[in-house]
Amino acid sequence: ILNVEQSPQSLHVQEGDSTNFTCSFPSSNFYALHWYRWETAKSPEALFVMTLNGDEKKKGRISATLNTKEGYSYLYIKGSQPEDSATYLCASKVGGSQGNLIFGKGTKLSVKP
Amino acid sequence: EAQVTQNPRYLITVTGKKLTVTCSQNMNHEYMSWYRQDPGLGLRQIYYSMNVEVTDKGDVPEGYKVSRKEKRNFPLILESPSPNQTSLYFCASSSLKQGRRYTEAFFGQGTRLTVV
């Protein structure tokens, strides 16, 4: 059974704070690591897809890093804004291009103005 | 426009009355999957499909059926719904083509099902 773990489960920060959360996944047979942003009453939308050890991706104030050897990824948000409030999901794909995509439970971020 | 379409968006039904939630994608994706989302439990996978006529159980398949007769459609069938299947359901699809390693999953709008 493939377990994808995310921490913390929830996070409350003030506007302007920078924050980060963790996704851990089994490192064997790794293929790709996905991050999604899921706003209330909407569908999850992809932020990043990462495949290479040491990969770093950035989109505006949000960035992510990947360590495939130890099986973790960090998502960073610099200068959080209320519109960043959402649940952030990571998902791991193992076993090649034909592998299944398994999601963690997510980190729910609330940014207070 | 590339999209995954689920229907209906909202459904209230009674225990035992068979229902189908449809999912259709227009991106020629091989992979499709159903998830349910319950408070505190994240997205739990119900069934997934790697291609036409290829389906497999996810983490919580009990009480559900799926079929994949065409590439674009992946309906979720509840033969005899029960109140514990009240949940928010999402369908997703993605490409499995070799060389398209950076392809993400696209999600439908969600179906909120209530079984009374």
The three state secondary structure string of B29-47 is CCEEEEEEEECCCEEEEEE
Compute the count of residue pairs across chains A and B with CB atoms less than 8 Å apart. Answer: 60
Instruction: Tell me the per-residue pLDDT of A24-36, one tens digit each, with 9 for 90 and over.
Output: 998 888 889 999 9
Instruction: State which residue of chain B sits closest to A46, comparing Cα positions.
Output: B104
Hunting for tokens 């059974």 — which residue is that? A1
Instruction: State which residue of chain A sits closest to B99, comparing Cα positions.
Output: A97
The pLDDT confidence band at residue A53, using thresholds 50, 70 and 90, is very high
Query: Quick one: average pLDDT of A2-14?
Result: 92
User: In terms of Cα–Cα distance, which of A3, A14, A13 is closest to A108?
Assistant: A13
Contact check, Cβ <8 Å, A102/B104: no
Give the containing element (helix H, strand E) for B13.
strand B10-13
User: In terms of Cα–Cα distance, which of B3, B6, B2 is closest to B89?
Assistant: B6
pLDDT at residue B102, as a whole number: 64
pLDDT at residue B100, as a whole number: 62
User: In terms of Cα–Cα distance, which of B24, B26, B30 is closest to B95?
Assistant: B30
Q: Is A55 on the interface with B (CB under 8 A)?
A: no
Query: Quick one: average pLDDT of A50-58?
Result: 94
Contacts with B9 from chain A: Cβ below 8 Å: none
The DSSP output letter for B99 is T
Range among A39-43, A90-94, B81-85 rated most confident: B81-85
pLDDT at residue A1, as a whole number: 54
User: In terms of Cα–Cα distance, which of A81, A79, A75, A80 is closest to A63?
Assistant: A75
Q: Which two tokens stand for residue B24?
A: 């259709």
Range among A62-76, A87-101, B90-104 rated most confident: A62-76
CA A111 vs CA A12, A19, A85, B101: distances in Å = 6, 10, 6, 33
Per-residue tens of pLDDT for chain B, all 116 residues: 889 999 999 999 999 999 999 999 999 999 999 999 998 888 899 999 999 999 999 989 999 999 999 999 999 999 999 999 999 999 999 987 766 666 889 999 999 999 99
pLDDT at residue A79, as a whole number: 97
